[in-house]
Amino acid sequence: MKIILLGAPGSGKGTLAKQITRDFGLPQISTGDLFRAIVKEDSALAREVKSIMASGALVPDELTIEIVKNRINQNDCQKGFILDGFPRTVNQAKALENITEIDMAILVDLDFETIIDRLSSRLTCPACGEIYNAHTYNQQSCQKCNATLIQRDDDKPETIKNRLEVYEKNTSPLINFYSDRLFKVSSKNSAEETYRSVKTFLDNFGG
Ligand code: ADP
Ligand code: ZN
């Protein structure tokens, strides 16, 4: 199965991707994670990507498409994958059509007010990528690997607003682009509840 996850930043795409990976054995391809890995390098490219991400803007399509193409062509993606955070523009979606055929788009739906609340209280493990919510997790270190948790630069209030605007303008048109293979799920309730309805859908997909 080749799946893409659509939804605003902070809607819960990453969490959903990890649940699908766990049960269906499909690799999660997160362009945000790929870029965060690039940023750790010491290069001109790393510095450029870092400043783009910190502003909440999008990395240029050409570079993004190249990185995704290389990742999809690796062996573990033969049977399928979950794309998390890509495509984010209609241009990227069109480029993806030329790389491979996508079976379905899952839209993770959440109102902006809840998103802003969740993102501004989000804590991220810089080592393993695990995500926590400061309202419910009152420790400073990661339960999995013990690294000290941080607030991502782009989870600061000014950047959140910009990311949501970028989503509205550039990414939300993809809902129409994929309307012939779209499954919509609300993430207003718990992550478990969100996943339950997605799992039922995936279990029945293709018989
Ligand atoms: P979120 O979905 O929570 O905003 P991500 O981790 O998916 O966070 O992405 C973080 C940042 O990485 C984005 O704000 C953007 O700068 C960059 N990025 C990720 N995916 C893409 C993409 N498909 N195209 C362009 N830029 C991207
Ligand atoms: Zn960790």
Residues with a CB atom less than 6 Å from ligand 1 = 9-10, 31-32, 35, 52-53, 56-59, 64, 85-86, 88, 92, 154, 163
Q: What is the pLDDT of residues 123-137, one digit of tens each?
A: 999 999 899 999 999
In the beta sheet, which residues pair with residue 148? 141
Q: How far is the CA of 106 from the centre of ligand 2 (A)?
A: 27
Q: How far apart are CA 153 and CA 160, in angstroms?
A: 10
**Under 8 Å between Cβ of 67 and 31:** yes
pLDDT bin (cut points 50, 70, 90) of residue 188 is very high
Would residue 122 show up in a list of annotated catalytic residues for this protein? yes
| pLDDT band with cut points at 50, 70 and 90 for residue 207 | low
Ligand nearest to the CA of 28: 1
Closest residue to atom 10 of ligand 1, CA basis? 32
Dihedral of CA atoms 124, 1, 194, 137 in degrees, nearest 10, equals -20
**Are the C-beta atoms of residues 3 and 20 closer than 8 Å to each other?**
yes
Pocket perturbation via mutation, ligand 1, pick of 110, 154, 158 by most ligand atoms within 8 A of CB: 154
Q: How many Å apart are CA 25 and CA 45, to the nearest integer? A: 32
| Whether residue 20 has pLDDT greater than 70 | yes
Which residues does residue 5 pair with via DSSP β-bridges, in sequence order?
A: 84, 106
Q: Model-level pTM?
A: 0.90
Which residues on neighbouring strands pair with residue 131, listed in sequence order?
Answer: 124
Three-class SS state of 35: helix
The 8-class DSSP code of residue 156 comes to: S
Which-ligand-closest: CA of 130? Answer: 2
163 a catalytic residue: yes
Give pLDDT, residue 13.
94
Query: Which tokens hold the place of 187?
Result: 């993430």
- HSE of 3 in the Cβ direction (CA atoms, 13 Å)? 27
